[in-house]
Amino acid sequence: MKGRLASACIAAGRDVDSVTLLAVSKMQGPEAVRDAAAAGQRAFGENYVQEALDKMAALRDLPLQWHLIGPLQSNKTRVVAEAFDWVHSVDRLKIAQRLADQRPAHLAPLQLCLQVNVSGEASKSGVAPAELPALAAAVAALPSDRVRLRGLMAIPAPADTAAARRAPHRLLHELADALRAQGLPLDTLSMGMSDDLEDAVAEGSTLVRVGTAIFGRRG
């Protein structure tokens, strides 16, 4: 997987260190995570809060970084604020506010991405692009010792052609540029999965979320 990501960076004329690999370990057991960690992988992505907490408990002896990439309901924010390092799926202010209120003071700030609905009707999660600037400004104004807005995340609808796969990634990049022009110091574009990571890297992804291509099919 590291080789495929490096090739994608080189093809895009980018530094191979400019894209972080997030290993998506949902529905994989702790032993699969342990094996990946032994091979040097540090950052892991999970979709389901309880499954992630169980895995974290089983892997407490390892210095791993945990990213929540699945939908987050408000009744789960406290455990997420206490256990995760990153949340990629923030799409409303109420969730970000709760995470800021509930992040323990002794931990580093929780790193946040705003999930954007870049595919219109095809996806129900994520803030609409038109509503993104107001949400981003409000989240960026939350206490920076508790939460820090790092960037944007998207899960584009699957598409058959490279052009159709690249368009939503390009849109996410443009939305991030517009927020930077408003003065928000965003450094993260969380986009690209097993099937479209080359397209995402070509459009400026800084973090690809890869499950199947690392661990095989979930099952």
Neighbour tally for 9: CB within 10 Å: 19
Element (H, E) at 165: helix 162-181
Q: Which is nearer to ligand PLP, 204 or 211 (CB)?
A: 211
**String of b and e for 81-95 (b: at least 16 CB within 10 Å)?**
bebbbbbbbbbbeeb
Q: Would you state the torsion angle of the CA atoms of residues 9, 115, 84, 199, taken in this order, to the nearest 10 degrees? A: -20
Per CB under 6 A, contacts with ligand PLP among 90-129 are: none
Range in contact with ligand PLP (rule: CB under 6 A) among 8-16, 138-146, 164-172, 189-197 = 189-197
Stretch that binds ligand PLP, among 35-43, 71-79, 105-113, 190-198 (CB under 6 A): 190-198
Figure out which of the listed residues 90, 154, 155, 172 binds ligand PLP, where binding follows CB under 6 A: 155
Is 47 a residue that touches ligand PLP (CB under 6 A)?
yes
Dist CA 205 CA 201 (whole Å): 5
Block residue for tokens 């979930």? 218
Exactly one of 67, 165, 169, 209 binds ligand PLP (CB under 6 A); which one? 209
Identify which range of 8-16, 55-63, 116-124, 187-195 contacts ligand PLP by CB under 6 A.
187-195
State the nearest-atom distance from the C-beta of 212 to ligand PLP, in Å: 3
Q: Does 193 bind ligand PLP (CB under 6 A)?
A: yes
CA distances from 70 to 32, 36, 162 (A): 20, 21, 25
**Residues shown for the chain:** 219
Binding positions for ligand PLP, 6-25, rule CB under 6 A: 24
Supply φ then ψ for residue 71, to 5 degrees: -60, 145
Question: Which residue, 55 or 209, has its beta carbon nearer to ligand PLP?
Answer: 209
DSSP 8-state symbol, 36: H
Task: Using CB under 6 A, list all residues that contact ligand PLP.
Answer: 24, 26, 47, 69-70, 155, 193-195, 209-213
